[in-house]
Structure 1
Amino acid sequence: MSPSGAEGIIYERSCCYQKNIKMVVSVFGAWDWAIMAATMVASIAIGLYFRFSGGKQATNEEYLLADRNMSILPVAVSLMASFMSAITLLGVSAENYYYGLQFVVINLSYGIATPIASKLYLPVFFGLQKTSTYEYLEMRFGPQIRMLASLTYTLQMVLYNGIVLFAPAIVLESVTGLDRLISILVVGLVCTFYSTLGGMKAVLFTDLLQSALMFGAVFSVVVFASVQLGSFTEIFVIAKEGGRLDFSNFSLNPTERHTWFSLIIGGLVTYLSLYAVNHTQVQRLQTVNTLDRSQLCLWWSWPVLSVLSVVTCISGLSIYAVYKDCDPFLSKSITAIDQLMPYYVVQAMKDVPGLSGLFVAGIFSASLSTISASCNALAAVTLHDYVGRWCKVPPSYVPWLTKLAACAYGLVFLALAFIAEHLGGILQAALTIFGAVGGPLLGVFTLGMFTTYANERAVSISLLTGMAATLWISFGGPRPPVTKLPLSVEGCGFNVTQVPASTANPSDFFYLYRISYMWTSPIGFIWVMFWGTVISLLWRQQQPWERKGQAHPDPELFTPPLAKRLRARQGDKPAVQCKLLQSNGVED
């Protein structure tokens, strides 16, 4: 989250200092370019290999779900890589630099959420074996909510991925000296090419390569800073002196930006909205052949995600330890806090051949993995939720249409990335949309799986009003400034002119605009659960099974504990036994 308000200090720098900044704009050498080129070539090669090997994607299931025969490792790593974008790597490191290490507490919520997702949500999707996650909503409620949810997902992912492609290009322009438009074209076209040709298998295996580079990028920052400071422990000594290791905020006040409660509860709902019901992740979890293996994929993705998250947090502390006496943002060496990590690479790693290339390859890989995941997932939703509903498509044409859809989405991301340069504040708005719709959508799926009374009319109304509420809370303003932890400029070595810091009193701002962004998803989730329940009970509507003349709901549509009770109540018998009884004229 970018801070707002005056930072309180303006610097007057000499011409010589400005020239020095320009001199390190392009730090790429031959080894750096070689590493970057090798990353792109390897990604394309993987796509070509899976396009022209094996079954050649004769069926849509092979293209979108890797024929459901993938091994656990690539799926587990891909689950992590799908939403660990370059924005995440750059943003989390800056978060810990300017606001402290308390953010790392969010990893505890991932450990709590993983068994919930694997035991209560995943069995429903895996048992139904549907290509689109939103097919479940039509089976449970009806076609209206399926279309509403899939359109929401499509808009969310299109906006987000345009920014995923654009934002790193701005930041990394300062490292490579490469024009941002060329960066966007290279990453966008390479990603569109291999994900369109190779399908899900190419996406999963390139995620393995790209994840290794992501780890290499953040580890290189920590290792290099440790060498500069003399030891790894020195990072934490300096961070503690700067107030970055304070974990004492247990406040229940929702206006406090980060507390134990906001991070654990907000992180829990956010994780479930991504890993329990988001189509991008559910699609990956169905690329293995058994539920047990799918659950193992989810379990193994948790430590992979947490390790990368923790190391990225530590990388922010590492950079703080190096710049504790001359903050780059206050000194105007960078114009946004997300440029912090690339700035460190420019300043500290430029003399080590290949290290800058490794870092940039890792950041670009984070974008590649997110965009390729979205191309494939959105193609599945388009073919099954839109085209399949309105058109009769011959089965032989479906695989080709799916590939065209994946390619089209890649080109749409490219177009949005170019337009994004001129959208200004819309960038932050689109990122906020990504978080604001997750909680309400989780609420819809939860009402469907955990209750038998929720109906289509109620969940449609609660979803629309819930998203309106979360977007209002997220976008409304004016908003109070976010206060950073203490920063120093004593070691910068150039003249400083201080101006008064912002004296705005947070209590002067409207209460909802002061609520921490970590509570946005929980608020949306609770809103949908509450109003979906109230409206369902007060305004009854026929359920899908009632419209079909069935007395009982299908237990397969509900979370395992509820499904077990429904089967016991209905006295379900094995299918063969039921047919035998019916053939003898016995009513079930």
Structure 2
Amino acid sequence: MLLVSAGIGIFYGIQAKRKKASTDDILVGGRQMATFPMSMSLLASFMSAVTLLGNPAEMYNYGTQFVMIGFAYIVTTPITAYLFMPVYHRLELTSAYEYLEMRFNKAVRLIGCCIFTFHMITYMPIVVYAPALALNQVTGLHTYAAVSIIFVVCIFYTSIGGIKAVIWTDTFQVLMMFAGMMAVVFKGTADAGGFGYVWQKAEETGRNEFFNMNVDPRERHTFWSMIVGGSFLWTSTYAANQAQIQRFLTVPTEKQAVRAIWINCVGLVALLLVCCWGGLVMYAYYFDCDPLTAGQVKASDQLLPLFVMDTMGSLPGIPGLFTAGIFSGALSTVSTGLSALVAITLKDFMVGACKMNLSDERQAGLAKWISLIYGLISFGIVFVVAQIGGVLQAALSIHGIVGGPILGLFSLGLLVPWVNWKGAFTGTITGLVFVAWMGFGAQAEAAMGHISIPKKPLYTFGCNCTIGQPPLPPPEGYPDVFPLYAVSYMWYSPIGWFVTTLVAVLVSWLTKFNDPRQMDRRMFSPGLTKLMDSLPLDWQEKLNWPLLSKDKEDKDKNMIGLQNIGFETEIVNNALGKKKAVEEAPQKARK
């Protein structure tokens, strides 16, 4: 798998050298990629080793409530495809944060870039360390040796092959992820006693839980936190994240991008179900002897590799297939992050902020070195990540803390035309600080033992070894914990979005709202423009919505209206000197 991934990078690196690839080729594939590989790349980007190792462990320890996040994927898909993506595609962006400068100003663009950079630099080490644990359990190879291999291969094919190599390696790696997990699930189900036995054991211990309707935000996973919190979390990942937006821009048409987003949704749900069923299979297999309590593994993230060795360790190639699938998840996410960071560094920091006059050839050359630098930084942070417990919650917590404010920022730009740059900037900073305070406060309380999440029943009566004293049950409720610190990590994203939006609107109101009539309609979501255009004309005028004036004699207003409505420049210029065109324009615009 590693050799094939590197080979794809070499192939596209040779192509780029022969054709003297432009920056556009390296960063967005010349906007000529096909639908299927782009959809697979979307799927691979954030469904990584965190998913393959974390989701089964989640089912094993806490039950199936987490499966309901699949409905959040379905909610996220149309929002991304029809409200957000068309704006990015029509503006032909390279970096998502170029939009923020078009809509607000350079300061807002830079704050968005800095938040994303921090996000990816802290997220990538998590998804590398997870498969390193898997390889350590399956083969005995040293954890940091595995980490080094992943980073070397990933930096290699990302830097020499550009986004084309990343997308095609993602496609190959998605197939490896599915192959590895399907092999584990089918063989494991048979060894555990069959589908009925697996379901029965989950039922007996209360693991089959899908509709916990508790509205207490402190409960870790409920129906509401999965649907509402999950929708905000994954919308921020797909609709307001450079790593995903960059992929939307690699296909030539909006229709292709929409189709790819829906294909990605199907793949997300399928992979979620496979991984979650794998967790129930593990529990049925270890029903009478929990490996964690028995000391066979040190962390929940090692349960799946142990299960693979116990059930398929004697089958030639199967443990390797599983390990290749785990590695694929890590490689795809890291390559996604590196390619996105290259685009941001070149377009937003070097050209946008620093005004560096770089030729196309110079930018293409710098891209390789930027990949290397970010890869080395992430490698260094792996040693910090090694101290974190569960990779799934750690990864989703980072997504929630960062994703909510960024989603709020992009939502304000696309859906609230009256918000000005001062409101957007202040709201984003406030939302980020507020949710980060909640998240780090919760981590501190958990480290002190004040917050403990009770697991579903785990047994050891069938173990052939001496078991130490079982841990004391966690305390009831959340004694002596500040209420916001006890809030579930799944609510971080909606809370961050709400605080960002509220502060942005208030500050914009205090500092004078924007006048949408002075703005380009392409900055706004198609859903918003359709809604506003359908309102009665007097409402539109009260809201300063950019339609033509009803007064036919006011030619200046008519011309502003024509430009805002998106008429071609040639038509507008002709209308300036032709009375007939001026008189007919309001009727055409209203129609």
Regarding TM over 0.5, the answer is yes
Q: Does 1:563 align with 2:529?
A: yes
CA distance in 2, matches of 1:373, 1:538: 40
Q: What's the offset of the Cα at 1:401?
A: 1.4
CA distance in 1, matches of 2:571, 2:510: 39
Please list, as runs of the form range in 1=range in 2, the aligned pairs for 1:6-405 lying within 5 A after superposition. 39-53=1-15, 56=19, 58-389=21-352, 390=354, 391-405=356-370
Residue-pair matches, total = 543
Q: What's the offset of the Cα at 1:512?
A: 1.1
Q: Which runs of 5+ in 1 are unaligned?
A: 1-38, 546-550
Please list, as runs of the form range in 1=range in 2, the aligned pairs for 1:421-570 lying within 5 A after superposition. 421=386, 432-476=397-441, 477-479=444-446, 480-499=451-470, 501-508=472-479, 509-540=481-512, 552-564=518-530, 565=533, 566=545, 568-569=547-548, 570=561
Q: 1:478 corresponds to which letter in structure 2? A: E
Q: What's the offset of the Cα at 1:331?
A: 1.3
- Give the aligned CA root-mean-square deviation in angstroms: 2.1
- 8 Å Cα contact 2:10-2:161 kept in structure 1: yes
- 8 Å Cα contact 1:57-1:399 kept in structure 2: no
Q: What's the offset of the Cα at 1:220?
A: 1.7
Q: 1:557 corresponds to which letter in structure 2? A: M
Shifted more, 44-53 versus 144-153: the winner is 44-53
CA distance in 2, matches of 1:175, 1:516: 33
Give the direction of change, closer, same or farther, for the CA distance of 1:114–1:503 in structure 2 (3 Å limit): closer
- 8 Å Cα contact 1:433-1:471 kept in structure 2: no
CA distance in 2, matches of 1:556, 1:177: 55
CA distance in 1, matches of 2:396, 2:226: 18
Q: What's the offset of the Cα at 1:155?
A: 1.1
- 8 Å Cα contact 1:106-1:267 kept in structure 2: yes
CA distance in 2, matches of 1:204, 1:59: 17
* Matching residue within 569, 576, 580 for 1:582: 576
Q: What's the offset of the Cα at 1:57?
A: 5.1
CA distance in 1, matches of 2:339, 2:461: 50
- 8 Å Cα contact 2:54-2:390 kept in structure 1: no
Q: What's the offset of the Cα at 1:95?
A: 0.3
CA distance in 1, matches of 2:100, 2:218: 34
Write out per-residue CA displacement over residues 37-86 of structure 1, whole angstroms, 9 at most, x where no aligned residue: xx111011111111223764521111111111111111111101000121
Shifted more, 292-301 versus 177-186: the winner is 177-186
Write out per-residue CA displacement over residues 223-252 of structure 1, whole angstroms, 9 at most, x where no aligned residue: 111221342332212211221112231111
Q: 1:42 corresponds to which letter in structure 2? A: V
Q: What's the offset of the Cα at 1:541?
A: 6.7
Q: 2:419 corresponds to which letter in structure 1? A: A
Give the SS at the match of 2:293.
Answer: coil
CA distance in 2, matches of 1:429, 1:266: 16
Q: 1:536 corresponds to which letter in structure 2? A: S
CA distance in 2, matches of 1:57, 1:152: 33
CA distance in 1, matches of 2:94, 2:313: 47
Q: 1:41 corresponds to which letter in structure 2? A: L
Q: Which one has more relative contact order, counting CA pairs under 8 Å at least 6 apart?
A: 1
Q: What's the offset of the Cα at 1:420?
A: 4.4
CA distance in 2, matches of 1:429, 1:240: 28
TM-score normalised to structure 2 length: 0.88
Identity of aligned residues (%): 37
Write out per-residue CA displacement over residues 281-313 of structure 1, whole angstroms, 9 at most, x where no aligned residue: 000011110111111111110001110011000
Q: 2:525 corresponds to which letter in structure 1? A: T
Q: 1:289 corresponds to which letter in structure 2? A: P
Give the direction of change, closer, same or farther, for the CA distance of 1:424–1:499 in structure 2 (3 Å limit): closer
Q: What's the offset of the Cα at 1:430?
A: 7.3
CA distance in 1, matches of 2:134, 2:397: 20
